[in-house]
Structure 1
């Protein structure tokens, strides 16, 4: 979910970011959960016990007043970055009230950098799979090429004039090469190799 706080700060719940046109502040997971709980109870008191349950206990974490106080402080500090001071009221020994206009916004209107983060995070498994598959294909092709290159038995058999004759001993027997150069075609080729190029 995404919200516009007091018409000036964009809060993205998924990315845990507070953003305006000039800066972005990323919240910790606990601080983001705390802000979500305060937004849900906006302009009404939410007890310390309820916050401890929603932010920590429901997620299998140990809740404490110190954690709550520290994250309230972190949230207030983040709000100060955007001139949203005095938005969180402390009700001594009872709880807190968020005094802020929280308007749900369409994700399409979010900051371009946040859109890219969201696309990347939603397709993270696709990217990892693509990279892994590409690596495997390249490794397979590389192994095939190296094996093929190592299995090649091409070597220089002899020189005929200015030409060099190469053969693969796995394919052609050397006596067949000599027989070829005794044929009419072989003699023509040999004659061409003995002529100087101009």
Structure 2
């Protein structure tokens, strides 16, 4: 089955890929991520409970189900959408219930093949197009984790990812691309808190940040995403920003 999302992205359940229809850039999803996205898209008019997702996406396929793992895969999908140029929040969290596809996102599907039960394996690396940087002109300080957990969970549950840097600030665990210096991280945090207020690290949180910079003849466009997740209540808040320096 193929899902058309906002006339921008296509998700092909057969090969587990997300493709930007304008640029041709694509990301190959892990099979767990693909099963999860297919489940959400097939039931896009409904709110899916965590328990329902655990059973159909994880348990039936021999994968370990937990709030941490589910939050992790939701984070991965949000990151994938963002990397391919989707400005809208496609997946919405319903506090204390589960997840759904946003009512503001237009989705069409083609052919009658069921995607819910299509995926049978669980281990598959995520691949990104080499054109990654060319397609972004949206706001960001992003979760550049290949494994984005939304809550604190045991290290063995986080896939190995050399592109991810982890640092501690109070009770906040901050994840960023490994190429970021401590100054880069603090600059992004400071830019965010100027708009949102001081970052409170007196309670356990996970913070996911990234910044993409695009150079053009008209100047430098910086796009940032900052995601703040409170470990105790499974709640995450995303902040998007855009900066431009004229040439």
Q: Secondary structure at the match of 2:92?
A: strand
Distance in 2 between residues matched to 1:5 and 1:83, nearest whole Å = 9
1:15 Cα deviation after fit? 0.8
Q: How does 1:148-187 map to 2 (within 5 A)?
A: none
CA apart distance, 1:86? 1.3
Question: Residue 90 of structure 2 is aligned with which of 84, 87, 90?
Answer: 87
Which residue of structure 2 lines up, in the alignment, with residue 57 of structure 1?
59
CA separation of 1:105 and 1:54: change in aligned 2, threshold 3 A: same
Distance 2:56 2:77 in 1: 16
| Pair 1:102-2:107 in alignment | yes
The aligned counterpart of 1:123 is none
Contact 2:8 2:86 in 1 (8 A): no
Tell me which stretches of 4 or more aligned residues in structure 1 moved more than 4 Å: none
Is 1:41 aligned to 2:46, yes or no?
Answer: no
Aligned partner of 2:226 in structure 1 is none
1:29 paired residue number:
31
Q: Tell me the distance in 2 between the aligned counterparts of 1:84 and 1:43.
A: 20
Do the aligned residues in 2 keep the contact of 1:44 with 1:97 (CA within 8 Å)? yes
| Unaligned 5+ runs, structure 2 | 112-247
1:105 offset after TM fit, Å? 3.0
Alpha-carbon offset, residue 97 of structure 1: 1.2
> Which residue is 2:68 aligned to?
66
Aligned length: 107
Q: CA RMSD in A?
A: 1.7
More helix by share: 1
- CA distance in structure 1 between the partners assigned to 2:74 and 2:13 by the alignment: 17
- Larger strand proportion of the pair: 2
Deviations 1:95-128 (A, max 9, x none): 011023221236xxxxxxxxxxxxxxxxxxxxxx
Aligned equivalents of 2:12 and 2:79: distance in 1? Answer: 17
Unaligned runs of 5+ in 1: 107-198
| 8 Å contact kept, 1:76–1:85 | no
1:43, 1:49 → 2: CA distance? 18
- Aligned positions of 1:184-195 closer than 5 A: none
Partner of 2:18: 18
> TM-score normalized by structure 2?
0.41
TM-score by length of 1: 0.51
Query: Structure 1, residues 115-174: CA drift from partner, whole Å, max 9, x if none?
Result: xxxxxxxxxxxxxxxxxxxxxxxxxxxxxxxxxxxxxxxxxxxxxxxxxxxxxxxxxxxx
Q: How does 1:119-138 map to 2 (within 5 A)?
A: none
